[in-house]
Amino acid sequence: MFKGYKSAAVLVALIAFSPVTHAQTTERRESGKNIHRDGWDRVVPAAPKDQKSEPAPVRDLTGIWEPTPGYRDGVFATGPKEYPSDGKPEHELPFTPLGLKTWKEHKPGFGTTAVPIAQNNDPFDICDPIGFPRLQLFNLRAIQIFQTKSQVAVIYQNDQVWRNIWMDGRELPKEILEPRWYGYSVGKWTDDYTFVVETVGLDERTWIDNVGRPHSDALKVTETWHRVNHDILELTMTIDDPKMYTKPWNPLNKFRMRLQPEWFDIREMICSASEAQEYNKTIAEQAIAEKNAGKKK
Amino acid sequence: MRKRLPASLLVAAAFLFVSSSLSAHHGNAAYDGRTVTVKGTVTAWVWTNPHTFLKFDAKDEKGNVVHWLGEWNAPSTLVNFGITAKSFKAGEDVTVTMTGMSKTGQPVGRVTKVVLPDGQELSMGSER
């Protein structure tokens, strides 16, 4: 029996002082390589190169999902994947005159219309709610999907918010009494692996993406969540806002997300008002210098 | 024995005017494409969203202390590259490489690499 205790003690000591354990707890750790970690600092397995997978379960999106093949593939700092703001003709949006005017009034930090931080008027930079659809068109990182008979709920790493998508048979509201940052959403299965969501009633103060594309109260967003197999979910989005755009456009087209292990903890990524204030204070000297430099020109 | 100068006195070691494209994460319109390497002493490591900041002091050619500000990626990105809230301590001598410098000449840049006193390099490798 004593021998057993002794063996256990040796084992505990070996674990406690093993290089692997030390690497997890030390303040110094290997750098320069992309080793993805979840919110509890656990190493997340890399996506396999072979995309083969078990068949998808029927009418089921539950699970924790991240963009793939790179977990940062959904950052979209310069605009959504299919329509980045890069000046290329194929990425020009079909603006109405009002749409173009409104876009020019927006002063983003990125894209062809980017301005220095002192002139920026991005509402998310002061921690206004990021809103929908920007929630999925900028910093689309980990999400977790829950389902009941009545709804699909999605929680997002991005700003730690959630949406409720009703599938209890209700229709979209005919009249919007109260616009919401994340709108009013209903969804339905169009086949066993495809869930289509429509959202209206979106607050006009939000931007569609990180480069300031505008929307009006007429915006309707359609999402198609298609579960390709057990491990892969594809997201397609359609922006339909006749006041701002002459025709609908797709910011994302079959954008892929991968199912993560059940133990994956979604990291906090929250716009904190005090941190935003600190950020602005920290760069204030630079911003003032920029303004002064601008006056001298 | 070779006489060693304190790292904080080794000023703006290399101004390598290397052109590069920025693919930064949050607001890069204020930065140009220069790469600059500065040796200095950490005064603060600010682990916040939307971006982190490494504040450090270095002396210029005239011996004046310059308060540098190195902006780096969001915590949720850096942690995947071995860079954590505990990576830097005030008082540590570091060598900071910044690619993307303030267009107005302010001592502000976007960090790409930091070398610690023990020689360890902290960076995002080839990613930005």
Please tell me the predicted confidence (pLDDT) of residue B10: 38
- Per CB-CB distance under 8 Å, the chain A contacts of B25 are 75, 77
Give every residue of chain A whose pLDDT is below 70, as ranges.
1-28, 51, 284-297
Distance CA A158, CA B72 (A): 19
Half-sphere exposure of A211 (CA within 13 A, CB side): 23
- Per CB-CB distance under 8 Å, the chain A contacts of B31 are none
Q: Is residue B123 part of a domain?
A: no
Please tell me the predicted confidence (pLDDT) of residue B30: 64
Q: Which of A27, A282, A286 sits opposite B86 (nearest CB)?
A: A27
- Per CB-CB distance under 8 Å, the chain B contacts of A116 are 29-30, 103
Q: Is residue B34 part of a domain?
A: yes
Residue of A nearest to B119 (CA): A28
Question: Total structural domains in chain B?
Answer: 1
Q: Is residue B44 part of a domain?
A: yes
User: Cβ of B87 and A27 within 8 Å?
Assistant: yes
Distance CA A183, CA A143 (A): 18
Mention every residue, 6+ apart, whose C-beta is less than 8 A from residue B35.
B16, B17, B18, B20, B97, B98, B99, B112
Name every residue in B having a CB less than 8 A away from some CB of A: 23-30, 46, 48-51, 53, 69, 71, 74, 76-77, 79-84, 86-87, 102-106, 108, 116, 118, 120-125, 127
Residue with tokens 């009034």, as numbered in its chain: A105
pLDDT digits (tens, 9 = 90+) for B10-29: 333 333 333 332 333 345 66
Please tell me the predicted confidence (pLDDT) of residue B21: 29
Q: Which of B82, B106, B118 sits opposite A286 (nearest CB)?
A: B106
- Per CB-CB distance under 8 Å, the chain B contacts of A31 are 81-83, 120-123
CA dihedral of A124, A130, A135, A139, whole degrees rounded to 10: 30
User: Cβ of B29 and A36 within 8 Å?
Assistant: no
Structure tokens at A205: 């103060």
Let me know: does A265 contact A38? Beta carbons within 8 Å: yes
Q: Is residue B16 part of a domain?
A: yes
Distance CA A111, CA A182 (A): 24
Distance CA B15, CA B99 (A): 10
Please tell me the predicted confidence (pLDDT) of residue A282: 72
Residue of B nearest to A296 (CA): B104
Segments forming the whole domain that contains residue B25: 7-117
Chain A 121-140, CB below 8 Å of chain B: which residues?
Answer: 125
Q: Say if residue A55 is preceded by a cis peptide, omega within 30 of 0.
A: no
Residue of A nearest to B47 (CA): A275
**Chain B interface, best mutation among A279, A280, A297, by max B CB count within 10 A:** A279
Give every residue of chain B whose pLDDT is below 70, as ranges.
1-30
Q: Assign residue B79 the CATH number of its domain.
A: 2.40.50.140
Q: What is the 3-state secondary structure (H, E, C) of B69-114?
A: EEEECCHHHHHHHCCCCCCCCCCCEEEEEEEEEECCCCCEEEEEEE
Share of chain B above pLDDT 70, in %: 77
**Chain A interface, best mutation among B49, B71, B97, B115, by max A CB count within 10 A:** B49
**Which residues partner with A184 through β-bridges?**
A200
CB pairs under 8 A between A and B: 112
Distance CA B113, CA A65 (A): 31
ipTM over 0.90: no
Q: Is residue B85 part of a domain?
A: yes
Please tell me the predicted confidence (pLDDT) of residue A3: 45
**Amino acid (one-letter) located at A282:** T
CA dist B78 → A23, A111, B31, B86 (Å)? 16, 23, 20, 12
